[in-house]
Amino acid sequence: MTATKSRARDLRRHRRSRTHSCWGHLIIAPLWVAYDANLGTLLRTCDAVGACLAVPATAHYRAALAQGDTLRRRRPCIHWTRSKAGWIDEQRAAGWRIVAVELAEGATPLPRLAPAREPTVVLLGHEHHGVPDEIVEEVDECVEIPMVGVGSSLNVAVAGSLVLYRLAGLA
Ligand SMILES: C[S@@+](CC[C@H](N)C(=O)[O-])C[C@H]1O[C@@H](n2cnc3c(N)ncnc32)[C@H](O)[C@@H]1O
């Protein structure tokens, strides 16, 4: 195989004819994620795969995203939520499939995860406490990323990005 490295600007012009604001097919919801850097990383992944981001409408999340927003005015659509469980219930009632990314019994291993065929919300957990148990019990599907190392889990932004790429059909 012969490959020639492309400049990022040229790649963007050739492969992406339109930017997205809200396509309404994938929302990543780091509703419990605390660290600013993880929220900024997830915002970039949303842009890359054409997903939206949903976060609580609190001063912490607003400041973290303002700080971590390296995309500036071209950033993806952000859904600001009030109550976490209430917002998830609303999405479910509106026909969205709810998927949690979490280490759990009965979870789908990432290599077996199919691309999303219907509008899907992807929940991510807190860096120390994960997704609350009562939320995991109610989701349509839980996805676990297999690991062989000594660590017990991945960084949450890495985990969310891997799952989003898969659901978007890009990996
Ligand atoms: C650092 S982990 C939290 C670990 C926490 N000690 C626990 O026991 O739940 C933060 C979040 O990243 C995601 N995550 C990290 N590694 C994962 C994996 N291997 N499979 C699925 N989700 C993972 C989950 O959303 C998790 O809630």
Distance 137 CA to ligand 1 centre (A): 16
pLDDT at 19: 58
The pLDDT value recorded for residue 13 is: 65
Separation CA 34–CA 121 (nearest Å): 19
pLDDT tens-digit profile of 9-37?
676 666 665 555 677 899 999 999 989 99
pLDDT level of residue 144 (50, 70, 90 thresholds): very high
Mean pLDDT, the chain, as a whole number?
90
For the domain covering 20-167, report its CATH number: 3.40.1280.10
Q: Any residues with CB less than 8 A from the CB of 92 and at least 6 apart, and which? A: 98
Quick check: 143 pLDDT over 90? Answer: yes
DSSP per-residue letters across 7-66: -HHHHHHHH-SS--S--SSEEEE-TT---HHHHHHHHHHHHHHT-EEEEE-SHHHHHHHH
Nearest CA to ligand 1 atom 9: 130
Nearest-CA residue for atom 24 of ligand 1: 102
Nearest to 42 by CA among 135, 167, 169, 160: 160
Tokens, residue 112: 């077996």
The pLDDT of 131-142, averaged and rounded, is 97
- pLDDT value, residue 5: 74
Q: How far is the CA of 90 from the centre of ligand 1 (A)?
A: 24
**What's the confidence (pLDDT) of residue 14?**
64
- Name the residue of 103, 133, 143, 158 to mutate for ligand 1: max ligand atoms within 8 A of Cβ: 103
Q: Establish whether residue 108 lines the binding site of ligand 1, counting it when its CB lies within 6 angstroms of any ligand atom.
A: no
Question: Structural domain boundaries of the chain?
Answer: 20-167
CA angle 87, 43, 24 (to 5 degrees): 50
Of the candidates 94, 111, 102, the one whose C-alpha atom is nearest the C-alpha of residue 165 is 111
**Per-residue pLDDT tens for 71-98?**
766 677 899 999 999 999 999 999 999 9
